[in-house]
Structure 1
């Protein structure tokens, strides 16, 4: 059972990470799905997405929940029936959930060179100056994760990553910063925590993932 890590990010918020090493059938055998989730799973064209979906359900069970405790609102945001706040993310070989007593957003991303090609579309690239290319990739991935996590937390149509979500200056070693959402004439403030996760698969080159959580200040 590859529960990779549990991270206590505060006294009332906890991240659960699953390293996906199982095949589809093994994951499928070990979870119970309601009809709507089964239909959603069957509609996924990518086996990687299917396995990520099932690994999230494995994490539910680790945390004391099942798929039957989860529902989505009209905007697609996940909720738990007992009122605990939840956010979900999946990237390649990892799935993650965060549970909290307050509204929270999570994002998990594999660090890849593609992020530098698209960086001008979602961030101020001057924030990447004076860094090596590897550091630029890692920092741009954190910035993308910040914007994804804030978006998931707020979950409103019309939010633009470059136009509405702004991160404070930070260094990769800080592992935290703040962010603001400027939207509909309101400025909202968020505390950001981020951490890098290294895949420990001995059969493949070491791969870095970035985990970001956003909570309302």
Structure 2
């Protein structure tokens, strides 16, 4: 199953999600990689990562871009050569890409109980409104991680901390969006964060608050 879901966020912003059911060989036949990425994907030890890498290129093609249109800066942030903003993510059998005319970030994670073991590393303020006895606690933690990862990708500034600089305003679990902030050095920026769930995964994307 190639394209799993398309979300038109607004007239200038679109999210596409791919469900990776194809083999590495099938995905490889779908895309044309530049020589550097040919070598990169061949050197990956995990087939899951190889398939994730290739599925992102398939998503690029669904946006009418090619592997040659994508490059990464010194901080590992992806860019498109025509200036369109992009963020990418993949986790296990899903990958996602968001494109926009404004800075954006996206993350996708499988919901797993072990996230509770590292919650203290990426949450501070949010503990005030979380309840670890809540049946949705693991899902809520995964939402928070995804939102903060999306903010981190959007802001792409060395020294930014999930725990100390990214804040997510309390949200009801039946809501699909909330407000988030980055409070870093002398800058305080407000963002809108959206989330969705499917097949045991959480996806969140962030964009500037209008």
TM-score, normalisation: structure 1: 0.92
- Which position in structure 2 is the counterpart of 1:70? 70
- Which position in structure 1 is the counterpart of 2:15? 15
Q: Distance in 1 between matches of 2:85 and 2:19?
A: 23
Name the SS for the 2:129 alignment partner: helix
- Which position in structure 1 is the counterpart of 2:180? 179
The Cα shift of 1:132 comes to 2.4
1:41 paired to 2:51: no
The Cα shift of 1:110 comes to 0.7
- Which position in structure 2 is the counterpart of 1:214? 206
For 1:124-139, list aligned pairs within 5 A.
Answer: 124=124, 125-129=127-131, 132-133=134-135, 135-139=136-140
Name the SS for the 1:45 alignment partner: coil
The Cα shift of 1:80 comes to 0.8
Name the SS for the 1:193 alignment partner: strand
The Cα shift of 1:27 comes to 0.6
Please provide the CA RMSD for this pair. Answer: 1.2
- Which position in structure 1 is the counterpart of 2:171? 170
Q: How many residues align?
A: 207
Name the SS for the 1:212 alignment partner: strand
TM-score, normalisation: structure 2: 0.95
Structure 2 unaligned spans of 5+:
none
Task: Please list the CA deviations of residues 143-202 of structure 1 after superposition, one character each: whole Å capped at 9, or x if unmatched.
Answer: 00111000000111111111111110101111111111111221111111111122xxxx
Structure 1 unaligned spans of 5+:
199-207
Q: Distance in 2 between matches of 1:79 and 1:67?
A: 11
Q: Which portions of structure 1, spanning 4 or more consecutive aligned residues, are displaced by more than 4 angstroms?
A: none
Q: Distance in 2 between matches of 1:41 and 1:115?
A: 28
The Cα shift of 1:130 comes to 6.9
Q: Distance in 1 between matches of 2:4 and 2:131?
A: 34
1:191 paired to 2:192: yes
